[in-house]
Structure 1
Amino acid sequence: MLPVKLSSVMSATTAAPSPSSKDACAGHAQPYEGLYARYAAYPDVAPLILKTASGSNYFVKINDVTSGRPILALYLHGGSTFETKVPRGKFTLRYATGRTWCSENELFGSSTEARKADRVFQFDDEHEYTIELIAQRNGNLPTKRISREAFNTDR
């Protein structure tokens, strides 16, 4: 698996979701791009830019590294660049990809591919990140595949 490119530009390793013969979520309303949920009230101070690959949509969760609890979630269209700010702290990043949104628990249904970045991100006044969730040779953000269930747990 190719790592995603990270840096103060970072990229992730991703693969296209496996196609499903039937799209069980076709009738579900699709979220607007941007902030999907804020799970805690912390001031946003550190810039974060996310870039996504075309072909799938993305649901990104940023979780507190100590408690494992989600801090915020973003819904992004494939091929887009999205800028936001996040609270100070140490966080992990998980993302799920797919074409048709079902729900926060079901993600993109059976075609969901979920991944977790193999690093902790330190956000503060001195750290900002551009994370490219696009598979790249020599990328610097290794990720590992996780189940939908693991995506939705606090650990």
Structure 2
Amino acid sequence: MARNAYRYRYQIAAAAVAVAGVAVYQQWGESPRVTRPESDWAPPSPPNFAVKVAPPSQDRSHGADLARLQPSALVMTCVPVAVTSGSFKIYTHQRGVAPLKLTTPAGGDNYLVKLVKAGTKNVVMSAYVSAGDTQTFKVPLGSYEIYYAQGKVWCGEKESFGRGSTRLVRLAGNFEFTKQGNSFVGHEIELIEQIAGNLRSEEVSDDEFASLVPAGPADGQDVSGGK
């Protein structure tokens, strides 16, 4: 039986900090937790909406200050879509076998991660991870570039987290997912900026992120929430 191992453990380097090599981390033995398929996304709770409360206004007829919600106070740039952390979509008939472990910072943004076949714009896999969570996915073997979108309220793959509310990033280098002997070898990535981080990243434009297209029909758990 094939085992799972991690080739490297990465932490994103904070901006303007020099990178001092790559820390090697291997884990053998028990297979990492893998998200179970679900027919569709059902979040544990409705998404949070940003609501602006108008300053208290004086109701002269009753002599009381009343805080009123204005109809235009709901600040959204897109339509929210229900999503569950750990959901994914594979755009190839290749089976996912090598581990990819993703950890996101607590109390911050949610993340959509895209694995793009190296040297192309073809997305082989998309995965969604909520803020403050760790998920392990099984990735088809190959060499990939990794992009991600981050933001607060998920609006589907087309809109991501809304125009003007989404940060788009590409991680430096290629990531190899291979089989070595009796083991499938992948990567562990902490999407958390750290002073001693060993992985560089750079922001990309809306146009570059939009140019990433599925490599083929989806074959796996829906990552789009139906959008």
Inter-partner Cα distance in structure 2 for 1:35 and 1:119 = 25
Unaligned stretches of 5+ in structure 1? 1-6
Give the match for residue 166 of structure 2: 112
TM-score normalised by length of structure 2: 0.58
Equivalent residues of 1:14, 1:133 under 8 A apart: no
**Alpha-carbon distance change, 136 to 111 in structure 1, aligned in 2, over 3 angstroms:** same
Inter-partner Cα distance in structure 2 for 1:106 and 1:148 = 10
TM-align CA RMSD:
2.2
Equivalent residues of 1:106, 1:148 under 8 A apart: no
Equivalent residues of 2:147, 2:168 under 8 A apart: yes
Give the match for residue 56 of structure 1: 109
Q: Which has the higher contact order (CA 8 A, sep 6+)?
A: 1
2:192 maps to 1:139: no
Note the alpha carbon deviations across 1:33-75, whole angstroms, 9 max, x for none. Answer: 2233221111212111000112110000001003320001011
More off after superposition, 88-97 vs 60-69 = 60-69
Note the alpha carbon deviations across 1:57-106, whole angstroms, 9 max, x for none. Answer: 00000010033200010111011000011111100100111000122121
Equivalent residues of 1:58, 1:78 under 8 A apart: yes
**Alpha-carbon distance change, 107 to 13 in structure 1, aligned in 2, over 3 angstroms:** farther
Give the match for residue 3 of structure 1: none
Give the match for residue 223 of structure 2: none
Give the match for residue 47 of structure 1: 99
Inter-partner Cα distance in structure 1 for 2:151 and 2:144 = 23
Unaligned stretches of 5+ in structure 2? 1-6, 16-49, 53-74, 214-227
Specify the SS of the correspondent of 1:151.
helix
**Alpha-carbon distance change, 63 to 137 in structure 1, aligned in 2, over 3 angstroms:** same
Inter-partner Cα distance in structure 1 for 2:13 and 2:155 = 23
Specify the SS of the correspondent of 1:108.
coil
Q: How much has 1:14 moved relative to structure 2? A: 7.0
Give the match for residue 152 of structure 1: 210
Rg (Cα) greater in structure: 2
The total of aligned residue pairs comes to 144
Inter-partner Cα distance in structure 2 for 1:95 and 1:45 = 21
Equivalent residues of 1:114, 1:151 under 8 A apart: yes
Question: After the TM superposition, which residues 2-151 of structure 1 pair with which residues of structure 2 at under 5 Å, given as runs?
Answer: 8-13=8-13, 22-25=75-78, 27-54=79-106, 55-109=108-162, 110-126=164-180, 127-151=185-209
Identity value in percent: 31
